[in-house]
Amino acid sequence: MNDLLLRRFGIDPFAPTPLHQLPLRWLLAHIIMLWCGFHSDHSPSITLSIKHVPGAMPTVRLAGVRNAATVLYVRDLRRTLARLLRPAGVHVIGMAAKIATPGRGVHVGGTFPMRAKVRSDLETDTLGRPFGWRRIHLVDGACLPSIPGTTPTLTIMANAHRIVSEAEL
């Protein structure tokens, strides 16, 4: 049982539990919490825009964008988990699901996605070069075209290795 969960419900995890809180403590001891990471196609996103003002530094603006597909994806995931876990005696409480706000995820990237043919200032070529630059390369998650629901570390490292191997130094 997680100490943070007990504290959230006003139970001191290191003190004897008062009689009136025993049923709640028993219930909390039987809760499984699940965190799910989604592919960027099913997640909220953040748009980045650059405003050019004559005689001044460009201004970068970030704005959160909710994704309508996220709600549907979470609903389908809840139903699937409920069906799969029911034989084990686990009950999924759908109303407890919480969708993070844009930018709250732990896997971020795709800010300057790679394209074979760059179409805007906010894309990079296949060597991770933004703005048509020749000697600057993005080699982290920023240049990935999308972010997987799984840990992207190996993908980022493999892409960085590819860029370094192919780029003229």
Query: What would the pLDDT profile of 6-32 be if each residue is shown by its tens digit?
Result: 888 888 888 898 899 889 888 887 777
- On whether both 164 and 129 belong to a single domain, the answer is yes
- What is the structure's pLDDT at 119? 92
- On whether both 80 and 140 belong to a single domain, the answer is no
Question: Is the pLDDT assigned to residue 111 strictly greater than 90?
Answer: no
Nearest partner of 39 among 138, 155, 122, 123, judged by Cα: 155
Averaged pLDDT for residues 104-114? 82
- On whether both 98 and 112 belong to a single domain, the answer is no
- On whether both 41 and 101 belong to a single domain, the answer is yes
Q: Find the domain containing 127 and state its range.
A: 107-169
Averaged pLDDT for residues 107-134? 90
CA atoms within 13 A on the CB side of 81: 17
- On whether both 41 and 19 belong to a single domain, the answer is no
- What is the structure's pLDDT at 160? 95
- On whether both 134 and 163 belong to a single domain, the answer is yes
Q: What is the C-alpha to C-alpha distance for residues 146 and 3, in angstroms, rounded to an integer?
A: 36
Work out how many domains the chain is built from and give that number. 3
- On whether both 100 and 114 belong to a single domain, the answer is no
- On whether both 114 and 67 belong to a single domain, the answer is no
- What is the structure's pLDDT at 92? 83
- On whether both 59 and 98 belong to a single domain, the answer is yes
- Residue 40, both tokens: 């960027």
Question: Is the pLDDT assigned to residue 105 strictly greater than 80?
Answer: no
- On whether both 117 and 100 belong to a single domain, the answer is no
- On whether both 100 and 113 belong to a single domain, the answer is no
Q: What is the pTM of this model?
A: 0.60
- On whether both 111 and 96 belong to a single domain, the answer is no
Residue 1's pLDDT band (boundaries 50, 70, 90)? low
